[in-house]
Amino acid sequence: MAQVVGAGYAVSDATGDIATIVKLFRVFVLGVGWWFSPQGGDAHKAKGPVPVFAIMFRVFVLVNSSSGVVPPPVRAALVEGSRWGLLIAIAALGLNTSLGAILRVGPRHLLVVVGATAVAFVIPLVWLLAVR
């Protein structure tokens, strides 16, 4: 989640908003998929509880969507807190990345990552230059 939102806001506020909505929708769909997964046989035994983040996501969506429930100053403070939380989450992900582990996977895997990153960078860049 953090990488998608961080990358979106690195481009612009509008792109960050869209990236956040798309990613949150995907999180929402996880709950729907869990709900409609098979209920019988071994699948029923393997099914775990609903993740807390999925429940809290739905609670916050309902509270935020209900007009007047959250006063504007409180909402603004929560949005700012959310931005700081995202920044901390992205930093934590970066700090938890082991350079040694990345180098051990081998050059072919690194080439795939570098290539995918380059494509993810070049396509929006070409689009932005074309729009400009």
Rounded CA-CA distance 92/6 in Å is 13
**Confidence band, pLDDT 50/70/90 cuts, at residue 11:** confident
State pTM to two decimals.
0.40
Q: Are 5 and 20 in contact (CB under 8 A)?
A: yes
Question: Each residue of 38-88: pLDDT tens digit?
Answer: 665 565 555 567 777 777 777 777 777 777 788 888 888 887 877 777 777
Residues 6+ apart with CB under 8 A from 34: 47, 50, 54
